[in-house]
Amino acid sequence: MSSVIESIETLLVDLPTIRPHKLSMTTMACQTLVIVRLRDSDGVEGLGEGTTIGGLAYGPESPESIKRNIDSYLAPLLIGQSASAVATLRARLDRHARGNAIAKSALETALLDAQGKRLGLPMAELLGGARHDHLPVLWTLASGDTARDIDEAFQRLEQRRHCDFKLKIGANAVDDDVRHVAAIKAALGERASVRVDVNQAWSESTAVRGIAALQAAGIELIEQPVSAREHAGLVRLAKRFEVPMLADEAVADARDGFALAAAGFSGAYALKIAKAGGPRGALALAEVAQAAGIGLYGGTLLEGTIGTAASLHAWATLPELAWGSEMFGPLLLKDDIVAEPLAYGEFGVELPKGPGLGIALDEDKLAHYARR
Ligand SMILES: O=C(O)C[C@H]1C=CC(=O)O1
Ligand SMILES: [Mn+2]
């Protein structure tokens, strides 16, 4: 008898950040992880995570909606079904529930983790096999203070933890943001690369002015300068400037990626398991990007270790991440809920070993940080 899914538990876990993390739409002091524990009739447990940024500030799913929609709608679609049929189960979720990509990503991760444990294979093997076991990871400077960001960048460089930096801008007037970014780039010089993420904050005309100045300051990549829905504007910016554009909020899944490429976009796509409804959807977007000659970037919604590990297993199967990755989420958090943290070093992170995600929970820490 093949194993069936017996229960699915969801927990909200609130973890403080090491410092305020300032984005165009919110400033974070805490991150809320939605942790999924899926138990199968053969005793195997699969772990998953669905995490967003700033409640409803970043996107249409909040931690509370993710938990509630899994509990009320998505989990009942899976309970009693054959646990190994990951693709069929994932299609079942899409057939009966619209949207809710983050909730679906958490469940797909838990299904893959359980299946990997059952077969004794790492999750990357289920996704085609790892081509890399160490992935590059940048750091996001977003304290809101120029001098503090510069200090932080030099610390990270000296630790050999990160040598590429992403600056979060768009909350301030464009001239102030440009001054901030140019000062950091000037302080770091050739020792580090600097890119920016505007998180949709600019109109197209502001973007033209801001990007011209950022390009002159030596910034290497401009992430999501305009609204996610402004595909035509993003294409115009990509054609206008030498500095490449990175589409993030504009491309959730393979269909978005196809539409943007067909509209004439060139540059790079940020892959996120949360946007694409799971690791498999994110890899489908990667296929479209590769077919269109668009570069790949391993993105995060600032997940903790479980969501980050799931993403790493997916990115490890790709031939190349031309723009590296930002899988630093766990490093932004003061504490963790896993027994063994991910191994960061040499400007990147190791792909975890062992079956499934290769991650085990620390039950005491989980109980301590779980919301009651
Ligand atoms: O890229 C985003 O939009 C979300 C995120 C990734 C890194 C970070 O600091 O925020
Ligand atoms: Mn982004």
Domain shared by 110 and 27, yes or no:
yes
Identify the CATH number of the domain in which residue 84 sits. Answer: 3.30.390.10
Q: DSSP string covering 42-76, please?
A: TS-EEEEEEE-STTTTSSS--HHHHHHHIIIIIHH
- How far is the C-alpha of 10 from the C-alpha of 360, rounded, in Å? 16
Q: 108 lies in a domain?
A: yes
Q: Is the dihedral of CA 340, 344, 345, 349 positive or negative?
A: positive
Return the structure tokens found at 42.
């053969």
Considering the domain boundaries, does residue 328 fall inside one? Answer: yes
d(CA 121, CA 359): 13
Residues 116 and 145 in one domain: no
**Is 356 inside any structural domain?**
no
Which protein residue has the closest C-alpha to ligand 1 atom 3?
A: 199
How far, in Å, CA of 299 to CA of 302, rounded?
9
Contact 310, 48 (CB under 8 A): yes
Could you report the per-residue pLDDT of 243-284, keeping only the tens digit for each? 999 999 999 999 999 999 999 999 999 999 999 999 999 999
pLDDT at residue number 160: 98
| 212 and 168 inside one domain | yes
139 - beta bridge partners? 165
CATH number at residue 139: 3.20.20.120
Kindly report, residue by residue over 354-366, the tens digit of the pLDDT: 999 999 999 999 9
What residues make up the domain containing 202? Answer: 126-350
Residue 315 lies in a domain: yes
Evaluate whether residue 100 is within a structural domain.
yes
- Report the greatest alpha carbon distance in the chain: 65
Atom of ligand 1 nearest to the CA of 223: 1
φ/ψ of residue 84, rounded to 5:
-85, -15
Same domain, 136 and 279: yes
For residues 197 and 185, give the distance between their C-alpha atoms in angstroms, rounded to a whole number.
15
Q: How far, in Å, is the centroid of ligand 1 from the Cα of 369?
A: 23
Catalytic residues: 168, 326
Rg (C-alpha) for the chain, rounded Å, is 20
What digits encode the pLDDT tens for the residues 238-254? 999 999 999 999 999 99
Give the span between the Cα atoms of 53 and 208, in whole angstroms: 27
Question: Ligand 1 pocket by C-beta < 6 Å: which residues?
Answer: 53, 140, 142, 168, 197, 199, 248, 299-302, 326
Give the pLDDT score at 328.
Answer: 99
For residue range 126-175, list pLDDT tens digits in order: 999 999 999 999 999 999 999 999 999 999 999 999 999 999 999 999 99
pTM of the entire predicted model: 0.98
Pair (57, 148) in one structural domain: no
In a domain, 26, yes or no: yes
Residues 190, 62, single domain; the answer is no
Clarify whether residues 195 and 339 are in a common domain: yes
pLDDT at 1 over 90: no
What is the overall mean pLDDT for the chain? 98
- Tell me, yes or no, whether 115 and 135 share the same domain: no
Domain count, the chain: 2
Q: What is the mean pLDDT of residues 175-202?
A: 98
Residue 122 CA to residue 126 CA, distance in Å, equals: 7
Same domain, 84 and 135: no
